[in-house]
Chains A and B, each alone.
Chain A
Amino acid sequence: NAGVMQNPRHLVRRRGQEARLRCSPMKGHSHVYWYRQLPEEGLKFMVYLQKENIIDESGMPKERFSAEFPKEGPSILRIQQVVRGDSAAYFCASSPSGRAVFFNEQFFGPGTRLTVL
């Protein structure tokens, strides 16, 4: 059973460009979380999605950031008009269950390291 897949592993963008980060959850998992890790910081929650629904986006910056998890295909975290402060590692995690999700382990992908020049 393949783990959580993220691509690309490394992404370089110039200021003002768009960044698209992809996450394929583990097979059978329908819950996806995105976290951001800034240098010397722990991971910060950004958004929680289920298939075709955003459940909680309280950690998402109000502008330029969006996320989706379509019925088919990977979850996408999109950052428009990137700025240097967006440089970070972005991690996706997935979990298998519903209302009792907090009992369960979240399985993390290897992350995408975004560098904004």
Chain B
Amino acid sequence: AQSVTQLGSHVSVSEGALVLLRCNYSSSVPPYLFWYVQYPNQGLQLLLKYTSAATLVKGINGFEAEFKKSETSFHLTKPSAHMSDAAEYFCAVTDYGGSQGNLIFGKGTKLSVKP
């Protein structure tokens, strides 16, 4: 079965600094991977998704992620953090063992951005 591990439940960066949020997955088949962002008291919004096309995926708000099969990783990055990036970020993988598409989520990483 698929699983997702997000290293670091809290990450704090300074405004303008690099953002790196880590995600490792476990899957016996080529996965489809997603990053979602959740602002306080809101639902999840898709940042980007990997569906076996280009390994470097660009998303909204300047975020991107690189699929590395050898490392089973899909880390999320942004070159320069903005205050508005403060939120919780979830990595997710599609559950092939389930019924065509329910998502398996990591526990999330809360990103704080210091002025």
Binding site for B on A (CB under 8 A): 4, 6, 31, 33, 35, 40-45, 48, 55-56, 58-59, 91, 93, 95, 99, 101-111, 113
Are A4 and B99 also in contact (CB < 8 A) when A40-B107, A105-B49 are?
Answer: no
Asked if B98 is at the interface (CB within 8 A of a chain A CB), the reply is yes
Nearest-neighbor residue (CB-CB) of A34 within chain B: B102
Q: Which residues of B contact A43 (CB under 8 A)?
A: 44, 90, 92, 103, 105
Closest Cβ of chain A: how far from B100's Cβ, in Å?
5
CA distance A39 to B98 in the complex (A): 24
Instruction: Kindly list chain A residues whose C-beta atoms are within 8 Å of the C-beta of B106.
Output: 42
CB–CB A42/B44 < 8 A:
no
> Can you list 25 A-B contacts with CB-CB less than 8 angstroms, sorted by A residue number?
A6-B43, A31-B101, A33-B103, A40-B9, A41-B108, A42-B105, A43-B44, A43-B90, A43-B103, A43-B105, A45-B104, A55-B100, A56-B102, A93-B44, A99-B100, A102-B101, A104-B101, A106-B103, A108-B43, A109-B43, A110-B41, A110-B42, A111-B41, A111-B42, A113-B41
B9 CB contacts on chain A under 8 angstroms: 40
Is residue B94 within 8 Å, beta carbon to beta carbon, of the partner chain? Answer: yes
A42 touches B43 (CB 8 A): no
Binding site for A on B (CB under 8 A): 4, 6, 9, 32, 34, 36, 41-46, 49, 51, 90, 92, 94-96, 98-108
